[in-house]
Amino acid sequence: MSGAIPESLHEQLSHQLSQVVGFIYPNEVETQWAILIVVYPYLTGIVAGAFILASLVKVFNVVEVQPIYRLALLTALAFMLVAGMPLQLHLGHPERAYEIFFTPQPTSAMAMFGFVYLWYLLGILLIEIWFEYRHQLILMGQKSRGLMKGIYGALSLFSRDVSPEALAFDHKASRIITIIGIPSAFLLHGYVGFIFGSVKANPWWGSVLMPIVFLMSAIVSGIAMVMFLYILLSLMRNEKPDMRCLDKIGLFLLVAIIVDFALEALDYIHRIYQSEESIGILAELVSARLFTSMLVVQLLLGMLLPLVILVLVRSIRFNEELRKMLYFTSSLLILLGIFSMRWNVVIGGQLYSKSLRGLMAYKMEITGIESLMTALALLALPFIILSVLFRLLPPRWMEKNAPAAAH
């Protein structure tokens, strides 16, 4: 019986046990949901946010944002393809993951999330992108040879119809899918919030505001990611980004941050004012375990600083170069801040005992499955996928190659 657990796990748990302050239930030494479960809502949030930004073009006809429409869609797809991986890798029995789809438990938020994820990926995102790119895929297929011709043929599902009626139908279809897609994107990330918010055993998580806070922060992170990528791509291509577009995204970002800030502030004010049984230990949790990650990184660097920058950009007439730099900086700060927010929710909720009498510690592994290296790899993977997608489905190919008649 003894020595049955792996050496590295024993070492990690012994270290975590030595860091315990006060009293905890003995089974609470192990951090059940570690770094990979921080990465998971971070990735899903970016998917939902990027899609909602894209929908502004299709549904609300915000023409200024048109230049990033395809970028936002491909970003959503690239992050979506990776979003399920941290969950899969985290499981004790990854080979049984299919059970979630074959024998789901209807009362489980996690089981239902599997279907929401699949619906969003297969029912919304892929179909939307297919309609958006169908015309281009046909034209690209006509211009290529050999293997690539086959690939483009397959991607367009061997459709060939480029008549004006067919193209009009594409346009209409993608608009309808976007309209269905908005509530679906809300559902996708609201649901992630619900997975945490519905845990009544954990007062740090169990809040009715959790789904909506997750949703708002998702929108913030998605917009910031698309803004970051747009500026980065323009730098790499040595081009000027469309400043009207950037300013518009900056405005949406500012509004989203204000709403996000207001919601999170409301959550904390509500907790402090109600001052329930758990308030003492939660205050200790924030001051002793989450001071840097929550007050410094999430609040100060990730929210207030970019908020001030975005307000300044709107109120003072900076030149284009400076504005671009400020947008770039604030998008990076926001992406860092939202990652910290995910950390503070997921890890923070496991750093205090449900006995409300003590604090635990989390020591992140550097290598292994549930480790820093895996997390970094999963965070890098969407960018690699995105670069492949850019090659396969160049977002601006039509502007350069399409016959004039097609427009």
Partner 1 sequence: MNKREFLKDAILFFPAAATLQALAPAAVGKAEPAKTPPDYDATKHWYGMGVDVDRCIGCNRCVEACKAENDVPEEPFYFRTWIERYQIHANGETTVECISTRAAPPEQAVPEDPGVVRTFFVPKLCNQCAHPPCVQVCPVGATFQTQDGVVLVDEKRCIGCRYCIQACPYGARYLNPKTRTADKCTFCYHRITEGLLPACVEVCPTEARIFGDLKGKADRLVRFHRVNQISVLKPDLNTEPKVLYARLDGEVR
Q: Which residues bind partner 1 (CB under 8 A)?
A: 1-2, 4-6, 9-10, 13, 17, 23-30, 32-33, 87, 90-94, 96-97, 99-100, 102-105, 107-111, 114, 195, 198-202, 350, 353-357
Does residue 170 come out as left (phi exceeding 0), alpha (psi in the -120 to 50 range) or beta? alpha
We find the least distance from the C-beta atom of residue 41 to partner 1, in angstroms, to be: 14
Letter string b/e over residues 63-86, b meaning 16 or more CB atoms within 10 A of that residue's CB: ebbbbbbbbbbbbbbbbbbbbbbb
Helix axes of 320-346 and 210-236: crossing angle, nearest 10 degrees: 140
Nearer to partner 1, 100 or 335 (CB): 100
CB 221 within 8 A of CB 42: yes
We find the least distance from the C-beta atom of residue 1 to partner 1, in angstroms, to be: 5
We find the least distance from the C-beta atom of residue 385 to partner 1, in angstroms, to be: 25
Nearer to partner 1, 28 or 260 (CB): 28
We find the least distance from the C-beta atom of residue 145 to partner 1, in angstroms, to be: 34
321 DSSP β-pair partners: none
Nearer to partner 1, 199 or 251 (CB): 199
We find the least distance from the C-beta atom of residue 187 to partner 1, in angstroms, to be: 17
- What phi and psi values does residue 132 have, to the nearest 5 degrees? -65, -35
**Size of the chain, expressed as the number of residues it contains:** 407
How is residue 294 written in tokens? 């929550």
Nearer to partner 1, 24 or 229 (CB): 24
What DSSP assignment string belongs to 275-336?
--TTHHHHHHIIIIISIIIIIIIIIIIIIIHHHHHHHHHHHS---HHHHHHHHHHHHHHHHH
Rounded CA gap, 394 and 346, in Å?
A: 37
We find the least distance from the C-beta atom of residue 233 to partner 1, in angstroms, to be: 37
We find the least distance from the C-beta atom of residue 17 to partner 1, in angstroms, to be: 7
Nearer to partner 1, 93 or 400 (CB): 93
Nearer to partner 1, 301 or 356 (CB): 356
Nearer to partner 1, 144 or 202 (CB): 202
Q: Positive or negative CA dihedral for 392, 398, 401, 405? A: positive
Look-up of token digits 């469309």: 242
How is residue 349 written in tokens? 């909720």
Nearer to partner 1, 92 or 146 (CB): 92
Rounded CA gap, 211 and 190, in Å?
A: 4
Q: Is 108 helix (H, G, I), strand (E, B) or coil?
A: coil
Rounded CA gap, 320 and 315, in Å?
A: 14
Rounded CA gap, 86 and 88, in Å?
A: 5
68 DSSP β-pair partners: none
Nearer to partner 1, 17 or 263 (CB): 17
Rounded CA gap, 393 and 152, in Å?
A: 10
371 DSSP β-pair partners: 365
